[in-house]
Copies of this chain bind each other. A is one copy, B any other.
Amino acid sequence: MATQAERREKTRASIVKAARRIFGERGFSAATMDDIAAGARVAKGAVYHHFATKEAVFEAVFEQVSIDLVADLDRISRAENDPLAAMAAGTQGYFAACSKGPTGQIILRDGPAVLGWERWREIDAKHFGGKFPRALAAAMEAGVIAKQPIEPLARLLLGAVTEAAVAVSAGPDIGKTGTDYARAFRSLLDALRVK
Q: Which residues of A contact B (CB under 8 A)?
A: 108-110, 112-114, 116-118, 121, 148-149, 151-153, 155-164, 166-167, 169-170, 174-176, 180-181, 183-185, 187-188, 191-192, 195
Contacts and interface: CB of A to CB of B under 8 A. Distances in A.
Contact of A148 (B113, B156, B184): B184
B162 A163 contact: yes
Contact of A167 (B109, B148, B155, B181): B155
A158 B152 contact: no
Kindly report how many copies of this chain are found in the complex they form together. Answer: 2
B109 A117 contact: yes
B163 A155 contact: yes
Given A121-B175, A159-B159, 5 more contacts: A109-B113, A151-B176, A152-B180, A155-B176, A188-B191
B170 A121 contact: yes
3 closest residue pairs by CB, A with B: A159-B163, A113-B113, A152-B184
Most chain B beta-carbon neighbours within 10 Å: one of A113, A164, A183: A113
Contact of A159 (B116, B149, B162): B162
Contacts of A191: 188, 191-192
A114 B113 CA distance: 8
Given A164-B159, A185-B156, A116 B109 contact: yes
